[in-house]
Chain A
Amino acid sequence: MLRFVLVLLALAGPLLLSGCATQPRIARTADGKPDLNGIWEAMGSAHWNLEPHNAQGGPIAQLGALGGIPGGLGVVEGGRIPYTTEAAAKRAENKANWLERDPLAKCYLPGVPRATYLPQPFQITQERRSLLIAYEFAGATRIVYMDQPSLPAQVDSWMGHNLGHWEGDTLVIDVTAQVADTWLDSAGNFHGPAMRVQERYTPAGPDVLRYEATITDPETFTRPWKISLPLYRRLDPNMQLLDFKCVEFAEELLYGKFRKRPATQ
Chain B
Amino acid sequence: MATMGRAISACLLVGLVPAAHAADAAVKYRAPRNEYGQPDLRGVWNFSSDVPLQRPKDAPDKQFQTREDIAKSNAARDKQIEQYAQQGVGAHNLFWLDYKSQAENLRSSLIVYPSNGRMPALAGGVTRIGGFAAVFKDVPGTRPVRFNLGGIGKDGPEDRGLSERCIVTESRPPLTPGFDSNFVQIFQGRDHVVILNEQIHDARSIFLDERPPLDDALRGWYGYSRGRWEGETLVIETRNFNGLTQSFDSAGTSYDKVVTERLTRIADGTVEYEATVVDPKTFTDKFTLVFPMAKTDKRIYEFACHEGNYSMEIILSGARKEEADALQAKQ
- The listed residue (A132, A242, A248) touching B187 by CB distance below 8 A is A132
Which residues from chain B contact A129 at a C-beta distance below 8 Å? 42
Q: Which residue of A lies closest to B209 (CB)?
A: A238
Given A30-B35, A141-B201, A260-B156: A125 touches B221 (CB 8 Å cut-off): no
CA distance A125 to B201 in the complex (A): 15
Q: Report the minimal beta-carbon distance from B325 to chain A, rounded to whole angstroms.
A: 14
Q: Are A140 and B190 in contact (CB under 8 A)?
A: no
Interface 1/0 per residue, B201-242 and A, CB below 8 Å: 111010100011010001011101000000000000000001
Q: Report the minimal beta-carbon distance from B6 to chain A, rounded to whole angstroms.
A: 18
B residues 184-208 in Cβ contact with A at 8 Å: 185, 187-192, 194, 196, 200-203, 205, 207
A123 within 8 A of B: yes
Which residues from chain A contact B207 at a C-beta distance below 8 Å? 240
Interface 1/0 per residue, B312-327 and A, CB below 8 Å: 1100110110010000
B306 within 8 A of A: yes
Q: Are A260 and B323 in contact (CB under 8 A)?
A: yes
Q: Report the minimal beta-carbon distance from A238 to chain B, rounded to whole angstroms.
A: 5
Q: Are B302 and A258 in contact (CB under 8 A)?
A: no
Q: How large is the interface on B (under 10, 10 to 19, 20 to 34, 35 or more residues)?
A: 35 or more
Given A140-B201, A247-B166: A126 touches B155 (CB 8 Å cut-off): no
Q: Which positions in B face A, CB cutoff 8 Å? A: 34-36, 42, 154-158, 165-168, 185, 187-192, 194, 196, 200-203, 205, 207, 211-212, 214, 218, 220-222, 224, 242, 299-302, 304, 306-307, 312-313, 316-317, 319-320, 323
Question: Nearest 10 CB-CB pairs, A to B?
Answer: A258-B316, A260-B155, A134-B203, A157-B302, A125-B189, A37-B189, A125-B187, A132-B187, A251-B157, A243-B220
Q: Which residue of B lies closest to A248 (CB)?
A: B167
A residues 139-177 in Cβ contact with B at 8 Å: 139-143, 154-155, 157-159
CA distance A139 to B167 in the complex (A): 10
A3 within 8 A of B: no
Q: Which positions in A face B, CB cutoff 8 Å? A: 29-31, 35, 37, 107-109, 123-132, 134, 138-143, 154-155, 157-159, 181, 238, 240-243, 245, 247-248, 251, 254-255, 258-261, 263
Q: Are A107 and B306 in contact (CB under 8 A)?
A: yes
- The listed residue (B36, B191, B202, B211) touching A30 by CB distance below 8 A is B36
18 contacts between A and B (CB under 8 A): A107-B306, A123-B194, A125-B187, A125-B188, A125-B192, A126-B189, A132-B196, A142-B302, A158-B304, A240-B214, A240-B224, A243-B222, A247-B167, A247-B306, A258-B320, A260-B154, A260-B156, A261-B156
